[in-house]
Structure 1
Amino acid sequence: MKKFKKILLVLAGLILLVIIGVAIFINSLKPDYGGEKSLPGISSEVTTYFDPYGIPHIYAENETDALKALGYVHAQDRLWQMELLRRIAKGRLSEVFGEDMVKTDKFFLSLGIDDHTKETLSSLDQTSETIALSQAYLDGINEFIKNGPTPIEFYLTGIEKEPFSIEDVYNAVGYMAFSFAMAHKTDPLLTSMRNKLGEAYLKDLAISSDTSTVWIKNYKGEKTDTLGTNITASVTAALDKLPIPQFEGSNSWVVAPEKTKNGKVIFANDPHIGFAQPSVWYEAHVSTPTYEKYGYHLAGVPFPLLAHNRKLAYGLTMFENDDIDFYYEESNPTDSTQYKTPEGWKNYEFVNKTIKVKDGDDVSFTYKKTHHGPVLNNIADQISGDRPIAMSWIYTKPKNMVLHALYGLSHASNREEFKSALPNIHAPGLNVMYGDAEGNVAWWATAKLYEMPDSLSTKFVLDGATGKDEPLRYLDFSENPMAENPPWNYVYSANNQPDSIAGMLYPGYYLPENRAKRIVQLLDAKDDWDKEAISEMILDVTSPVNTEVVTELIKLFDVTHLDKEQLALLDSLKNWDGEYSLKATSPLIYHRTLYNMVKNTMEDELGPEMFKQFLSTHLFKRQIAWGSGMKSGVWWDNVNTPEIETRQDIVMMSFAQTWESLVADFGDDPSEWTWDKVHTIEHQHPFGQIESLRKYFNVGPFPVEGTREVINNLSFPYDGTGFYKVSSGPSTRRIIDFSDVENSISILPTGQSGNPFSKHYEDQAQMYVNGEFRKMMMNKQEIEETAESVLIFR
């Protein structure tokens, strides 16, 4: 018995040692927010105060030292995110995740982001301030890699930490540029739809610009075939596997002093990005005797993309311009290594690449390039013999000056300095929003725009052989859409269609007017805006367009075929104000009926795969209001039945299917059919896909207000489940009030840290869902008094 007790004591001791060892190991992986550290290369001491949400406030004697400290603290919270982001353009995700990522790596290697980066670096002025400060930031990252703890993800994947270089910065920006594009989902698909169905079906799609919707107004003034389907499917599949979120859309508005209570500019911005854990932005406040910015940083990028100080504020939305064109190439029938150009036959360029695969053999592949760009047939695993399609992307054409632009924006001290940096952004296309303490408000669309031949639609695959479908000229930046201090006293952007300055429409994949209409409706109605009112507006969940769709469709209901409960529900839907609160029932009925209606209208012609692809495009979003208002048209008839269906037939059938599905999911009581049961948000970490790790790495799920295309744009993909898992939305909500800059407010979707063991991994998640904010502190005394910890670099 004594021997048995001794064995138990020994086992208990071993278990205790293991527990202590695991606890010590886990504790060693946490970010270090306090104490003193050596940071080689800095010229004087740098003090970093971490506020109660883990946001660093970095005080240094010069900007070089501050950027080194920023690199270090950014890396200790987000090194894993930095690692993934820099691997995308170089086709190195398969090294981490195995063979599932091979197609994704193939696709991104073929885009040529990394090759374009190498060209840029070969002609880079290494002595420029932009590069010097970028290198200081990278030195800080590399110091953490050398001497800081290794994040848990590196242990779980078995990959080694590697130093970061300026090449990684440019590749991260290149991924961001491609992430904005929609042409790869749309152009080949539309071409296939036209080839399969004919022009009559395309006439009833919202392809062209709609002059009846809300456009962004310009103002310059001073103050006083199957191939296409397969390509779309393959590209979509490649992007869906990315462990990094994609950029989706955004809202921003800037209100001039004439429309504010305190007579100062108020700035609001909420860029819409795919949700993931960690969230996309890293907040940091940097202060030196000559420079100060409170900024939002992309992983591995030294200069903030969104920022403010006491003089000015700026932010971004996606322009949604068309900067990708697809071209049919014509191979030489007697020499398959050549393709046709207006000047005669030209040799394809053959590019060889090798992908390293975790737990597998290396994958080598070759793709062809023309003067337009990469031929996607091989990349998209097409059937041999299909006509080659090449992708022309403006990002890889001109000299890359985007990093210099970000430096210029973050170092501008007034509107003219700020504007002078914008022409350096050739891609991605951005709406850059601006406001300042002097009372200026402005919006500029930044992109290298080009003019195409009249009557040519860039929404279809173009003719690459004859030269007739080539750009005619590049536009000067002065011809880009913009508004500076307009007489209506505000600027805004909601990814909607801009008006023209250059006497032409700017081709794009603009989102429908829903958010724009609501923003204009609210801003026009009020001339005494303050921070509190703007914070309510940025959380608005009302859709004026969806209620218009309901009003149009309800006219078609044959009430003689509805029972008492259905009539009561229809009556409540008729009186719906378009608000998406958690306990509302109308949103659930609307979206299920809408999906059923679109499916019943279009899937019979398109087929399941093409229909699924259509649902992922901006074109589908534009089609909802447009299509529901069509009283007649070829789409309404179901080609698989002998009868000729009408719009009324489709609407009634769709509502009946909705009712049946809601009873099956939630029971017979319609009061239980509430929005909170279906509209949820979960921030997914790549490791959260493994069920046993989900609760440790993912954040959520939470029921959440909002929906697609309202100001609080918590969007989701449509499918037949009738459950709406939010996939993208505001990546931050920022409000800067120049009457009280030091009390400006913001929020992140989860938390500042990407380290699962940090207390700041998810400490803002519930606040975000609740629509709460926190201060973006800039007052040094307040920062010192409320700091959670202080980290000093010597």
Structure 2
Amino acid sequence: MKRSLILLVLLLAAVAIGGAWHVDSKQPRRGGELTLGGLQAPVTVRYDERGVPHIQAAHESDMYRALGFVHAQDRLFQMEMLRRLARGELAEVLGAKLIDTDRLFRTLGIRAHADAYAQKLDLQRPASQALLAYLDGINQFQASRPAPLEFDLLGIQKRPFSVADTISVAGYMAYSFAAALRTEPLLTHVRDQLGADYLKIFDLDWHPRGVVGPTLAAGDWQDLNAIAQLSQAALEEAGLPQFEGSNAWAVSGSRTASGKPLLAGDPHIRFAVPAVWYEAHLSYPGFELYGHHQALNPLASLGHNRDFAWSLTMFQNDDLDLIAETLNPDNPNQVRHRGQWVDLHSREEVIAVKDGAPVTLTLRRSPHGPLINDALGNRVGATPIAMWWAFLHTDNPILDGFYQLNRADSLDKARAAVEKIEAPGLNVVWANASGDIGWWAAAKLARRPAGVNPGFILDGANGEAEKHGFHPFSANPQEENPARGYIVSANYQPQATSGIEIPGYYNLADRGQRLDQRLADNHVKWDLNNSQALQLDPGNGYAPRLLAPILGELRRAATTAQERALVEQLATWNGDHDLDSSAATLFNQLLYQLSERAMADDLGAAQFDNLLSTRVLDAALPRLSADAASPWWDDRTTPAVESRADTVAAAWRASLQHLQDNFGADPSAWTWANAHTLTHSHPLGQQQPLDQLFNVGPFAAPGSHETPNNLSHRIGPAPWPVVYGPSTRRLIDLADASTALGSNPLGQSGVPFDAHFSDQAAAYIAGQYQPQHLSEADVATHTRSTLTLLPAR
């Protein structure tokens, strides 16, 4: 027995040692020398204390090839999953449960568009050369180094990355902005099934002519609900970045302590493991940039150097229309277009399925775009719904645009670069050390027929869905060196001096108003310290604005001294979502219960669930609370006609009961720290016990939905997992860009068990900033290891 125990211990030790060796073999190489084919000269990669690579090369192509190599060794699995999601190839590695997601992305046409785009791309242009060198670096890493641990677990076979993969991922990012698939069916349902009185709370300032041409039957609405839910689930469950909103501002030197412009930015993106941005400091003779890169893109989406800096927010313009087509009753393969019957075009694609039979799709297209009905394997509706999407209908030289933006040190160069970004819509906020600040809304804005509101499903037969070209870039919203001395961009609806209407799915104005109010204070001289406080601001005026009209009803609904004290706590609350606030918890539960009690009975379960995933609900709720006569207050499941007071009282009681059930009878325990938490989720962390291995968190999270510190959750019952928030916080004072500060929600590395996998997570949630080393002296001081990449002999 003793010998058997010894053998067992030795066996377990061998397994442990073998497992440790296997995991260790997957770790990034950040020191020593490695050979990299295609280099013209050695490249030095110095890693700082956060694992950020500082790449020094003698040639531009060498720099981008080295970036591809080091980016891949930290993020190869992220690259693989993003291209598979965008191209509809997840079922091949995750099995049949991902067929519906793959079907959706194949239907959107991203894969086919990316393949065609790559074929016609001018490979001799500087941006294309940069991409090719970068992809070669990725592919050399993949061919020469051990596969990531996740590849082993999922059985992923290595295959080269291509230009089409990069364009496909850009398509996914563009699609993640698009709210139309969730919002347009909802608003059309409210208009056509409930009526104009119900539509009032959505404050649609201008209305379409007529209604949807083809009559949408129950089966059509069922299909649209299913597509909306599939779209939302695909984004939520992938464990991959999804763009949601953002803050950015630039302050001119007249308003800063240093006398030079200051730029701040924090793009709001769905949290995931690894984090979306890969930081890298790049240089070759005549070029230097500290940039934040997306997977499979060599060009920084955010960046700065000593001469200039820029950040991005989402424009939120509506660049995706849903269009109900009219079928030819004598030929189901034809639709009515411009007064005649035209053929639908179709193609077949095959989805490979892990441990299952391949699935063949027939994907159809009308003159307006792909038929999204084909995303459903078993649709029940009869009306084809086409999708017009600017991403599929513009030339979109976005690679050239960002290549130039990475080098744009003047207003003229920055403006010219931004003009090349046609889809998705982005706001670019920019500043330079010479004293200029600017903002440009980048997008190709379609010319739609007068009176047509693309917030509803359009009629494909009567001409309202047609586009009459695009507005010139000069008509887009933009500002350069405004007299007030600052620029703010925060996803609210912008005004264009050209006067054109820009429909979109904009965020509440409250966050932008909060930022504008602070920045407008002429007594403040802005610097890196007070800018941190502004980025971390946990409040806005939304809650007091929504509560004010119903405080009387809440006071009447309170039946005990404790309840009356809670109402008064809400009445005096300033809306700040601090960790110790119990008013924040009570308000957010009440917000959900008001929505559910007022709207679920009218919309039905599926449409109400879709509503909770849209931005239009945020704007609708304050209008609803202010309108005592709104028909939404009546509960149509009862014979009585309920008033606002009745529904507010019911929501109040339900809120208290839910909080008591989840956090106990003592309201002092209902703190925001207990109710609002952030867990960073890995694609493999969707199931136990892998969540313990790959996910990071939970962390108690301050801030909330549409506060400047936009750590945001979906409206729903407590507790609330944070869904998205600042994907990085950046502050650059162009008096000395080497003092720039930033943050990363997790860490540089996406490699499990690496030292930089989650080393910044605790500091991030605590609102701490890290230096972004730019000067040679700082880089040398903070270098922890050096990797030298040598040309092949």
Q: Is the 8 A contact 1:192 1:229 kept in 2?
A: no
State which of 233, 238, 257 in structure 1 corresponds to 2:253. 257
Judge which range, 757-766 or 691-700, deviates more: 691-700
- DSSP 3-state at the match of 2:633: coil
Cα distance per residue 1:549-568 (max 9 Å; x no partner): 22232133344852111112
Kept in 2, the 8 Å contact 1:61–1:289? The answer is: yes
Which of 279, 282, 286 lines up with 2:275 in the alignment? Answer: 279
Deviation, 1:385, is: 5.2
Match of 2:60 among 57, 60, 63: 63
Does 1:144 pair with 2:141?
yes
Partner of 2:348: 352
Counterpart of 1:22? 19
Deviates more, 1:698-707 or 1:395-404: 395-404
| Equivalent residue letter for 2:457 | V
Specify which of 716, 722, 725 is matched with residue 729 of structure 1.
Answer: 725
In the alignment, is the contact (CA less than 8 A) between 1:186 and 1:617 conserved in 2? yes
| 1:233 equivalenced with 2:222 (yes/no) | no
Report if the CA contact (8 A) 2:676-2:700 is conserved: yes
1:17/1:640 Cα in 2 relative to 1: closer, same or farther (>3 Å)? closer
Aligned pairs (5 A) from 1:112-261: 112-208=109-205, 225-261=221-257
- CA deviations 1:245-274 (Å, max 9, x no partner) are 211111111111111111111101000011
Give yes or no for the alignment of 1:684 onto 2:661: no
Q: Is the 8 A contact 1:188 1:231 kept in 2?
A: no
**CA distance 1:460–1:34, shift in 2 (3 Å):** same
- Aligned to 2:157, what secondary structure does the other structure show? coil
CA distance in 2, matches of 1:124, 1:663: 60
Is structure 2 residue 313 aligned with structure 1 residue 305?
Answer: no
Q: Which amino acid aligns with 2:316?
A: E
Contact 1:67 1:133 (8 Å CA) reproduced:
yes
Question: Does structure 1 retain, via aligned residues, the 8 Å contact 2:191–2:199?
Answer: yes
- Secondary structure (helix, strand or coil) at the match of 1:271 reads strand
Q: Aligned letter for 1:582? A: L
Distance in 2 of aligned mates of 1:380 and 1:635: 32
Q: What CA distance in whole angstroms lies between the structure 2 residues aligned with 1:745 and 1:389? A: 47
The answer on 1:673 being equivalent to 2:705 is no
Q: Distance in 2 between matches of 1:137 and 1:128?
A: 14
Which amino acid counterpart does residue 73 of structure 2 have in structure 1? Q
CA offsets 1:357-379 (integer angstroms, 9 cap, x no match): 01110000102100111112232
Aligned residue number for residue 361 of structure 1 = 357
AA matched with 2:190: M
**Aligned mates of 2:508, 2:672 — CA distance in 1:** 23
Contact 1:254–1:441 (CA under 8 A) maintained in structure 2? yes
* CA contact 1:252–1:494 (8 Å) conserved in 2: yes
Secondary structure class of the residue paired with 2:186: helix
Per the TM alignment, residue 666 of structure 1 is displaced from its structure 2 partner at its CA by: 2.1
Looking at structure 2, the residues matched to 16 and 383 of structure 1 have their Cα atoms a distance apart, in angstroms, of 55
The equivalent of 2:210 in structure 1 is none
Q: Distance in 1 between matches of 2:379 and 2:166?
A: 36
> Partner of 1:734: helix, strand, or coil?
strand
Cα deviation, 1:499-556, whole Å, max 9, x if unaligned, reads: 1223232000001111011001111124311110001100000111212222232133
Aligned residue number for residue 498 of structure 2: 502
Task: Tell me, in whole angstroms, the C-alpha distance in 2 between the residues paired with 1:596 and 1:640.
Answer: 16
More displaced 10-residue stretch of structure 1: 552-561 or 661-670: 552-561
Task: Give 1:112 deviation, angstroms.
Answer: 1.4
Question: 2:88 is matched with which residue?
Answer: 91
**Equivalent AA in structure 2 for residue 621 of structure 1:** D
Of 419, 442, 447, which residue of structure 2 is paired with 1:423? Answer: 419
Equivalent in 547, 550, 560 of residue 550 of structure 1: 547
Bigger CA drift: 594-603 or 186-195?
186-195
Contact preservation (8 Å) 1:572, 1:586: yes
Counterpart for residue 466 of structure 1: 462
Structure 2 equivalent of residue 222 of structure 1: none
Where does residue 393 of structure 2 map in the other structure? 397
SS of the equivalent of 2:281 reads strand
* Matching residue's letter, 1:205: F
Q: Which moved more, 1:339-348 or 1:288-297?
A: 339-348
- Aligned partners of 2:681 and 2:464: how far apart in 1? 46
1 CA distance for matches of 2:777 and 2:639?
Answer: 77
Quick one: which of 573, 578, 581 aligns to 2:575? 578
Q: Does 1:756 align with 2:752?
A: yes
Paired with 1:123 and 1:288, the residues of 2 have a C-alpha distance of 29
Q: Any conservation in 1 of the 2:303–2:406 contact (CA below 8 Å)? A: yes
Matched, 1:48 2:45: yes
Which residue of 2 is the match for residue 617 of structure 1? 614
The answer for unaligned runs of 5 or more in structure 1 is: 211-224
Matches of 1:542 and 1:7, distance apart in 2:
64
Q: CA deviation at 1:417?
A: 1.0
Work out whether residues 402 and 426 of structure 1, in 8 Å CA contact, stay in contact via their aligned partners in 2. yes
Report if aligned partners of 1:192, 1:228 keep a CA contact under 8 Å in 2: no
What is the identity, as a one-letter code, of the residue corresponding to 1:634?
P
Which of these residues, 8, 12, 25, is aligned with residue 9 of structure 2?
12
Letter in 1 for 2:650: M
Shift of 1:209: 7.9
- 1:628-667 → structure 2 map (5 Å cutoff): 628-667=625-664
Amino acid at match of 2:714: P
User: 1:101–1:241: 8 Å Cα contact kept in structure 2?
Assistant: no
1:427-446 aligned within 5 A = 427-446=423-442
Give the partner amino acid of 1:712: N
Tell me the equivalent position of 1:219: none
User: 1:476 deviation in Å?
Assistant: 0.1
Q: Does 1:293 align with 2:289?
A: yes
Shift of 1:753: 0.3
1:786 aligns with one of 776, 782, 785: 782
Structure 2 segments unaligned to the other structure (5+ residues): 208-220
Structure 2 distance, partners of 1:426, 1:134, is: 19
Most deviating of 653-662 and 701-710: 653-662
The answer (yes or no) to whether the contact 1:306–1:314 under 8 Å persists in 2 is yes
CA distance in 2, matches of 1:143, 1:161: 11
Change beyond 3 A, Cα 1:560–1:531: closer
The equivalent position to 1:411 in structure 2, one of 399, 407, 410, is 407
Q: Distance in 2 between matches of 1:649 and 1:351?
A: 55
Q: Distance in 1 between matches of 2:5 and 2:693?
A: 31
CA deviation vs aligned residue, 1:20-63 (integer Å, no higher than 9, x gap): 22221111111111111111111111111100000000011121
Residue 375 (structure 2) pairs with residue 379 (structure 1): yes
**d(CA) in 2 for partners of 1:281 and 1:102?**
28
Q: What corresponds to 2:736 in structure 1?
A: 740
Paired with 1:502 and 1:170, the residues of 2 have a C-alpha distance of 32
Query: 1:345-400 CA deviation, whole Å, 9 max, x = no partner?
Result: 11110121100001110000102100111112232346445211100001111223
* TM-score normalised over the length of structure 1: 0.95
C-alpha contact (below 8 Å) 1:585/1:674 kept by paired residues: yes
Q: Distance in 2 between matches of 1:116 and 1:560?
A: 56
Does residue 453 of structure 2 align to residue 452 of structure 1? Answer: no
Measured in 1, the distance between the counterparts of 2:381 and 2:443 equals 36
TM-score, structure 2 as length reference: 0.96
Residues 335 and 739 (structure 1 numbering): CA distance in 2 closer, same or farther, change over 3 Å? same
Q: 3-state DSSP class of the match of 1:203?
A: helix
Contact 2:82 2:169 in 1 (8 A): yes
Partner Cα distance (1:431, 1:295) in 2: 17
